[in-house]
Structure 1
Amino acid sequence: MIPYGRQCLSEQDIEAVESVLRSDFLTQGDMVPAFERALCDYTGAGHAVAVSSATAALHLACLVLGVGAGDRVWTSPNTFVASANCALYCGAQVEFVDIDPATGNMSVASLHRQLEVARAACRLPKVVIPVHFAGQSCDMAGIAALGREYGFRVIEDASHALGAENGNVMVGNCRYSDIAVFSFHPVKMITTGEGGALMTNQGELADEARLLRSHGISRQAETFEQLPAEPWCYEQHALGFNYRMNDLEAALGVSQMRQLDQFVSRRRALAGRYRALLEFESGVSMLEGAVEQSSWHLFVVSVPRRDLIFRQMRASGIGVNVHYIPVYRQPYHMPEQPIGDRFAGMESYYSSALTLPLYPELSEEQQDQVVNALTQSLRETGT
């Protein structure tokens, strides 16, 4: 089976992890700060806070922006459930903004219309979480402009988009947002096994996130409120979490960051090749976006009779997938009111979306196999 995505590990990566195993510190050593510096150096952001997962980073992002009970958080329905769950953890209400089916990203026009209605009803969001689907950046300048007009904060869910660019700005730079979040799951741009990071240019947000990722405990004597500044003392200042990344994961991350440009370049080459191979294939359309701007976490095509083609390709050894089931269709999130035409873009996209294999070690021969299986399925289904 050719999977839709997988990690790319080298001997350099294995040696990096082995060096930590032979060191004095498996956790809370030097590697997590080194990984955070590498993320800042790459993106140009002022601060990075490495954590145990992108879900943890999203949760912390909501907390440090003050999301709580009675607040509203808006996000895209074309995402993994964590993009919505992070707000629910804080007691907030989640609402979804329709996407542009041509890109898979949050529609700025839909966001604007929804904000107008919400302002009239005094139901404006506290935070909006756009998702950079498949590695292509949302229109962050447009979203940031709406944020200034309507008074909401912005968290970029950039889990798919490490290495992507927005114009001449690296995703994660936070020029257009308060916080950006990355994922280091094995199928993403780089991996730490599991892991995530919160990026920001606001030092106070980074400080609060660091506090909350480790039980709300401070070991810095200058922050102590009650205890004497003895070497063994620490104080709990908030109800935090055990969201720390360990040094084994961070060492792998540092090594993978050295290869990131190579990974992204290969993904872009493969995406360009898919586009060339499928450009004139009847019944197939591809997401819009600049090949040289996206990090290409996913390569999604739109095909008729998607469900049947999915099964046929899986049967032929091609690990296609579907990204994503609209979050509002999940039983936990099902809206009380009928969906109607509120999410026409999402429904149109989801009805035909098919994710093809894409990862740095995918060979051109394997890619040809994927394309041949797809074209054969299209012909067999009469499309």
Structure 2
Amino acid sequence: MIPYGRQSISQEDIEAVTSVLKSDFLTQGPQVPLFESKIAQLTQSKYAVAGNSATSMLHAACLALGVSESDTVWTSPISFVASANCALYCGASVDFIDIDPDTANISPKALQLKLAEASQVDKLPKVIIAVHMAGHSSDMEQISRLARKYNIKVIEDAAHGVGGSYLNSPLGSCKYSDITIFSFHPVKIITTGEGGVATTNDPNLAKSMSLCCSHGITKNKVDMQSSEEGDWFYEQQSLGFNYRMTDLQAGLGNSQLTQLASIVEKRNLLATRYQSLLLGNGIKVITPLKDSVSSYHLLLVVLPEHCDRRAIFNSMRSADIGVHVHYIPIHLQPFYHKLGFRKGDFPNAERYYQSCLTLPLFPDLTFEQQDYVCNTLKELLS
């Protein structure tokens, strides 16, 4: 079966991991800080903090921004559940902003209206988590402007977006946010097996997230409250977690970073070709905003109205094409029903979900496979 996504592992990647296995460090060694410095350089941010998953880093980011039981966090309903769950981990409440049907990202107009209403009843969120769906940047200039107006912090959930850019700045620069999160799960743009990174330009946020990822413990003498000396000495300064990235993961990541530009270029080539092949069949391809470059983690299409998405999905799978659906709106999940959300709360997100489909997209996808995917879909719609 042609999968919807798949990691791309080179011989150089294998040798990089083997080199770490032969070294003195498998967990906390030189590869992790090297990976962090390379991500900071790539994104033009001042700091990068690596962790064991993007979900962990979303949690760490919320904690660093002081999210707690009395707070509310807003995010997009069209995302993986981690984009909302991270706030619940802090004891906070969650709410959603409906999407723009053309981008599948947060609608700035919907956000503006919701903020104005929330301001009148003193129920503004502490943090907005803007998701870059499929690697396409949200309209961060507008989101940032609205957030600053109401003194709200912003996290960019760029789990899909490493290697992309917005208004000539790389995603992760935090030009329009406090913290940006990336994922390195195997089906993402590049992989560390599992892993995530948070970037920021604030040294206090970087320090807080770093502590959070390592049990709240520091061995940095500059930061210690005690004057006790000794290489064995450490201090737990906060309640943290074991969210650390290993040297094995970072070693793979450092190797994968050398291929990032070519991977993003290939994904964009395939995405452009999809748009051409599917033109004129009533299929809408979700594309990035102007003045931005998507890393194209996913190739999202919206099928014509009144077609049977379930039948098309099943027929494509039967034809050995691993189509998928991204995502079931978070507020429709049974757990979120228990929190009071109901069908009809975010109509644009729900309409998008009813007709969206994810087509295969990964660097090793051949033109022949892509032609087969498109011809099969067009035949099913004819």
Give the shorter-chain TM-score range. Answer: over 0.9
Q: Does 1:350 align with 2:350?
A: no
How far apart are 1:290 and its partner, in Å? Answer: 5.0
Aligned to 1:316: 319
How far apart are 1:167 and its partner, in Å? Answer: 1.6
Contact 2:78 2:99 in 1 (8 A): yes
Aligned to 2:236: 236
Q: Deviations over 1:40-68 (max 9, x none)?
A: 11110110000000000000000000000
Question: Where in structure 2 are there 5+ consecutive unaligned residues?
Answer: none
Q: Does 1:71 align with 2:74?
A: no
Alpha-carbon distance between aligned partners in 1 of 2:90 and 2:207, rounded to the nearest angstrom: 19
Q: Secondary structure at the match of 2:300?
A: strand
Contact 1:319 1:356 in 2 (8 A): yes
1:139–1:318 distance in 2 versus 1, CA, 3 Å? same
Question: Where in structure 1 are there 5+ consecutive unaligned residues?
Answer: none
How far apart are 1:331 and its partner, in Å? Answer: 0.6
Aligned to 2:259: 259
How far apart are 1:147 and its partner, in Å? Answer: 0.9
Alpha-carbon distance between aligned partners in 1 of 2:95 and 2:194, rounded to the nearest angstrom: 28
Aligned to 1:199: 199
Alpha-carbon distance between aligned partners in 1 of 2:341 and 2:169, rounded to the nearest angstrom: 40
Contact 1:125 1:152 in 2 (8 A): yes
Alpha-carbon distance between aligned partners in 2 of 1:337 and 1:196, rounded to the nearest angstrom: 29
Aligned to 1:7: 7
How far apart are 1:227 and its partner, in Å? Answer: 6.0
Aligned to 1:330: 333
Contact 1:135 1:298 in 2 (8 A): yes
Q: Deviations over 1:169-191 (max 9, x none)?
A: 11111000000000000010100
Aligned-residue Cα RMSD (Å) equals: 1.2
- TM-score normalised by L of structure 1: 0.96
How far apart are 1:373 and its partner, in Å? Answer: 1.3
Matches within 5 A, 1:118-267: 118-226=118-226, 228-267=228-267
1:312–1:140 distance in 2 versus 1, CA, 3 Å? same
Alpha-carbon distance between aligned partners in 2 of 1:151 and 1:37, rounded to the nearest angstrom: 30
Alpha-carbon distance between aligned partners in 2 of 1:192 and 1:337, rounded to the nearest angstrom: 35
1:338–1:189 distance in 2 versus 1, CA, 3 Å? closer
Aligned to 1:285: 284
Q: Does 1:371 align with 2:374?
A: yes
Alpha-carbon distance between aligned partners in 2 of 1:234 and 1:139, rounded to the nearest angstrom: 43
Contact 2:332 2:343 in 1 (8 A): no
Q: Secondary structure at the match of 1:37?
A: helix
Q: Secondary structure at the match of 2:357?
A: strand
How far apart are 1:345 and its partner, in Å? Answer: 1.1
Match 1:306 to one of 304, 309, 329? 309
Alpha-carbon distance between aligned partners in 2 of 1:167 and 1:308, rounded to the nearest angstrom: 40
Alpha-carbon distance between aligned partners in 1 of 2:340 and 2:191, rounded to the nearest angstrom: 38
Contact 1:300 1:355 in 2 (8 A): yes
How far apart are 1:221 and its partner, in Å? Answer: 2.0
Q: Secondary structure at the match of 1:130?
A: strand
Alpha-carbon distance between aligned partners in 2 of 1:337 and 1:15, rounded to the nearest angstrom: 49
Q: Secondary structure at the match of 1:156?
A: strand
Aligned to 1:362: 365
